Amino acid sequence: MLEHREAITGMSILVAVVDAGSLSAAATKLGMTSSAVSKQVSRLESRLGIRLLQRTTRRMQLTEAGARYCERARSILESIESVEREAESVQDTPHGTLRITAPTVLGQVRVMPVVLAFQRAHPSVKVHVEFSDRRIDLIEEGVDVAIRMTAQPPPAFVARRLGDDRRVLCASPDYLARAGRPRRPGELSNHECIVFVAGQPVETWHLRATENAEHTTPIRVSGRLHVNNTHALRQAALAGLGIADLPRYLVEEDLATGRLETVLERFMPVGRGVFAIYAPAPYVPAKVRRFVEMAEKTFRDGVAEGRTS
């Protein structure tokens, strides 16, 4: 069975490479890395014992054997899709295993309630969840749905918008009493700002005057504390260590109780969209459809905002 699954995966990737015209273009379409695509093609060639693609630094083309194999593979994949579409039309109840990934903090706070509700509604479905800030290859790692924060979702995938990444600049009353309250964005350079680290320190904050404003103002910030986790960022702000750029959903209660106060209320940090992303296919499993529908409703009814960490 595993051998058959590997064969189908190899066929799918080979056809994608041929259709895209290059390994890198196929990798983009599949949501994989170029090296992962190349490895899958090499594995297929090794298993078959024949050369399928003739590759040079300038061009790539099918060998004679590769052309015959690709034609048959395409026919087989079309037959599989047809069988799955027929099965789906009969079975519309979610079943099997659903694999989900999401950024750590957004996942813990906003996605986990969706997972729990889905599990209660569909107890026969096994759910595997990974909350991680690493970039996950959906195809290679067998992920069904990825919740991602992005301004531009990958064009090769289906992306359903769940909400927006609404953010707020805030600080503790203690810090503001000591350091004063900035009145203009440029005054942030005179303040202790808690710097978020996403691979590299994010030392430029992009602000805009209104939610839909196209013009943004880049502001250089600095501070003694750099952290790579949004929960830690909030804790540092609560402790009075400076001004932080935080997702509103995470500090809503802090703002309501006065533990944190907003600064530069007329300006807001530029956010991104929150998307549920999954592979396009004529056959979309019921478990994926139901989970995405539930996520859309939950985010719509609640506050769907946040940044990865």
The pLDDT assigned to 181 comes to 92
Which pLDDT value is given to residue 307?
Answer: 40
Q: Are residues 282 and 158 in the same domain?
A: yes
Lowest mean pLDDT among 82-96, 220-234, 243-257: 82-96
Structure pTM?
Answer: 0.64
- pLDDT of 214 reads 63
- For residue 240, is pLDDT > 50? yes
3-state secondary structure labels for all residues of the chain? CHHHHHHHHHHHHHHHHHHHCCHHHHHHHHCCCHHHHHHHHHHHHHHHCCCCEEECCCCEEECHHHHHHHHHHHHHHHHHHHHHHHHHHHCCCCCCEEEEEECHHHHHHHHHHHHHHHHHHCCCCEEEEEECCCCCCCCCCCCCEEEEEECCCCCCCEEEEEEECCEEEEECHHHHHHHCCCCCHHHHHHCCECEEEECEECCEEEEECCCCCCCCEEEECCCCCEECCHHHHHHHHHCCCCEEEEEHHHHHHHHHHCCCEECCCCCEECCCEEEEEECCCCCCCHHHHHHHHHHHHHHHHCCCCCCCC
- As beta bridge partners, residue 219 has 205
Number of domains observed in the structure of the chain: 3
User: 265 and 171, same structural domain?
Assistant: yes
Q: Are the C-beta atoms of residues 295 and 277 closer than 8 Å to each other?
A: no
Residue 12 clears pLDDT 60, i.e. is over it = yes
* 151 and 288 inside one domain: yes
Q: Are residues 265 and 136 in the same domain?
A: no
- Please give the pLDDT value at position 57: 63
* Mean pLDDT for the chain overall: 84
Q: How confident is the model at residue 299 (pLDDT cuts 50, 70, 90)?
A: confident
pLDDT at 88: 56
- pLDDT tens digits, 134-160: 878 787 788 899 999 887 888 778 888
Higher pLDDT, 41 or 305: 41
Average pLDDT value for residue range 153-181: 89
pLDDT, residue 300, reads 80
Window from 8-17, 96-105, 176-185, 206-215 with minimum mean pLDDT:
206-215
At residue 212 the predicted structure's pLDDT band, cuts being 50, 70 and 90, is: low
Percent of the chain with pLDDT over 90: 28
pLDDT for 197 equals 84
**In a shared domain, residues 161 and 231:** no
* Domain limits for position 295: 96-165+273-307
**Among 45, 66, 90, where does a domain finish?**
90
Q: Which of 41, 75, 90 is the last residue of a domain?
A: 90
Final residue before a domain boundary, out of 56, 90, 124: 90
Say which amino acid occupies 108. Q
Examine the domain organization and report whether 216 and 190 are in the same domain.
yes
Is the same domain home to 136 and 279? Answer: yes
Model pLDDT for residues 243-252, shown as the tens digit of each residue? 999 988 889 8
CATH code of the domain containing 131: 3.40.190.10
Is residue 106 domain-shared with residue 249, that is, in the same domain? no
Is the model's pLDDT at 167 over the cut of 80? yes
> Quick one: pLDDT at residue 259?
95
119 pLDDT above the threshold of 80: yes
Among 21-30, 182-191, 232-241, whose mean pLDDT is lowest? 21-30
What integer pLDDT is reported at residue 221 of this predicted model? 85
CATH number, position 51: 1.10.10.10
**Residue 29: what pLDDT?**
78
Q: Do 85 and 121 belong to one domain?
A: no
**Are 115 and 146 contained in the same domain?**
yes
Report whether 231 contacts 212 (CB < 8 A): no
Closest Cα partner for 223 from 169, 303, 260?
A: 169
* Same domain, residue pair 102 and 126: yes
* 228 has pLDDT over 70: yes
- Tell me what pLDDT residue 304 has: 39
Going across the sheet that includes 226-227, the strands are: 200-201, 195-198, 226-227
Report residue 3's pLDDT band, with 50, 70 and 90 as the boundaries: low
Q: Is 138 found in the same domain as 3?
A: no
pLDDT of residue 238: 95
